[in-house]
Amino acid sequence: MSLIKKCIIDKDVSYKPIWLMRQAGRYLPEFRDIRKKNKNFINLCLNTKLVPEITLQPIKRFDLDAAIIFSDILMIPYGLGQSVTFNKGFGPELGIIDKSNLSNINEKNFKKKLDPIYNSMKIISENEILKNKDFIGFVGAPWTLLVYIINKVSPKKNLKKNFFTEQSLIDELLKLLVKYIKIHILNQIKSGATIIQVFDSWAGLLEEKDLEKYIYEPTKEIIDFIRTLNVPSICFPRNIKNYKKFVNIVNPDVISIDYNVNPKKILEEIDIPVQGGLNPVKLLEDKATLKQEAKKYLKVFKNHPYIFNLGHGVLPETNPNMVEYLIKFIKDN
């Protein structure tokens, strides 16, 4: 059994496995070399030659306990026929939704558009380097994908003013997203994923009164579905106002926490395995500061099943040597 599975399934506290969100990508010079020659990000995510190479770059470089597929949560809107582009310095931009086309979306076309992802995953899962390591697949949560589809750009801190105007469209999209998120998860597991992480990057934008409809209910349906496939689930509801309530209702196998939450409070309130929390900015500081901060999380979760990770993704300006230092420190402690 892999070290991460021992932590999740056996609740083993003797070892703290480590992997990092966005461990494959922008901070690695070997990735930047590829990116320079491949300007279209969506096409890069569909490149069955390069995706395996990119996904495994950090595994070849560092002693990590899992690989995570190099992809993007917005591959689902792309699979559903919405145009998705990534512009340097601006982020993702999505096209207008063709409402009349929603009823024509079908599983066959969706799978055909995303098949290169699944083919890449099959190639990766068969690589010897992943022996005894996990291979993480992922999806965006229904709410976060809805935010991008309606907002059309990253909301940063606020949704656009008329976000909730077309309630019937929102309800239709939410149902559609739950259906196709499940399909995307199933295809990733069939292609070799051993764990699924659900990213709810914009969970913090909602008021308490809206959490039930947009986060708790649809995400629980996704997690219940993953459980039927006998694969562990990790939920990352970034900046959710009440992690305890989220865990009690949604019931994932692991809760991944952001860097704004007090880990001691999480320890007091949550029984299930915990992941993450370290502010990625600490990787930009000196080794002594990084070590002190990492030690804090190891100390808090000493007797609790814990997967070491960040409270968000590795930042582009991160020095790979600092990542190596962090991983070695965790492994030695």
Q: Evaluate whether 44 touches 50 at the Cβ level (below 8 Å).
A: yes
CA angle 144, 268, 9 (to 5 degrees): 70
* Strand-pair partners of 84: 94
pTM: 0.97
> Which pLDDT value is given to residue 25?
93
> Which pLDDT value is given to residue 157?
67
Across 258-271, average pLDDT: 97
Q: Evaluate whether 131 touches 66 at the Cβ level (below 8 Å).
A: no
* Phi and psi, residue 248, nearest 5°: -60, -35
Whether residue 156 is predicted with pLDDT greater than 90 in this model: the reply is: no
Q: Domains of the chain, with CATH numbers? A: 3-332 (3.20.20.210)
> Which pLDDT value is given to residue 160?
82
